[in-house]
Amino acid sequence: MGGTGLTPSSPADGDLWRLDGRVALVTGASARLGARFARVLHQAGAHVLATARRADLLDELARECGERIEVMPGDITDASHRQALAGRLASRGRLDVLVNNAGICDDGPIEEQSLEELRQVIEVNLISVLDMCRLSAPLLLAAPAASVINVASMYGIVASRAPMAAYNATKAPWSTSPGSSPPSGASAACGSTRWPPATSRPS
């Protein structure tokens, strides 16, 4: 596509897992699974755009990876930050892999939680995922073969060991409907990776 300077290459030595010339966005990329996703995609040859709240950890990731990685610190619950991410991708003219990894847990019985605590979990785990899919739809639709990966949880299917109603509710869509997220008519593949919750705050 025009303006990217990137063209997909043929798999080297028949390696179908190579992502040379592709562009990937990873949210919650500063630590744990998100940082790992960013590293693996980068090692496979993709140009990676990594976002999270912790600028210092994103800078460490960028230094480690070297070329073909950009970092954009910001809060994924901020609609203007999501717009900025979409704008950065649009300037590159393509998106091949979207990894919606950012997520948080609530804690304690629902009757002891505030509405704001519940709303924050919904904003991170559900609204930001839907909105990144919406904003990325034009580039995903234009890609020859795109993938949307929404990080789910086993607690979207089975009862959690501790009370966290908002987490369970917001992970259920990605745990039970792995094919539901790509834009209508997209040739994108949507997958959900299930993990138990690893943190109570977004990275």
Please list the active-site residues: 167
Cross-strand partners of 72: 51
d(CA 90, CA 88): 5
| Nearest residue to 94 (alpha-carbon basis) of 53, 146, 50, 19 | 146
Cα–Cα distance measured from residue 136 to residue 70, given in angstroms and rounded to the nearest whole number: 17
The Cα–Cα gap between 106 and 138 comes to 33
Task: Report phi then psi at 201, rounded to 5.
Answer: -135, 150
**If we measure between CA atoms, which residue out of 181, 175, 178 comes closest to residue 154?**
175
Q: Element (H or E) spanning 48, and its range?
A: strand 47-52
Burial class (CB within 10 angstroms; exposed 0-12, middle 13-18, buried 19+) of 88: middle
Pick from 81, 79, 91: nearest CA to 55: 81
186 CA to centre of own chain: 18
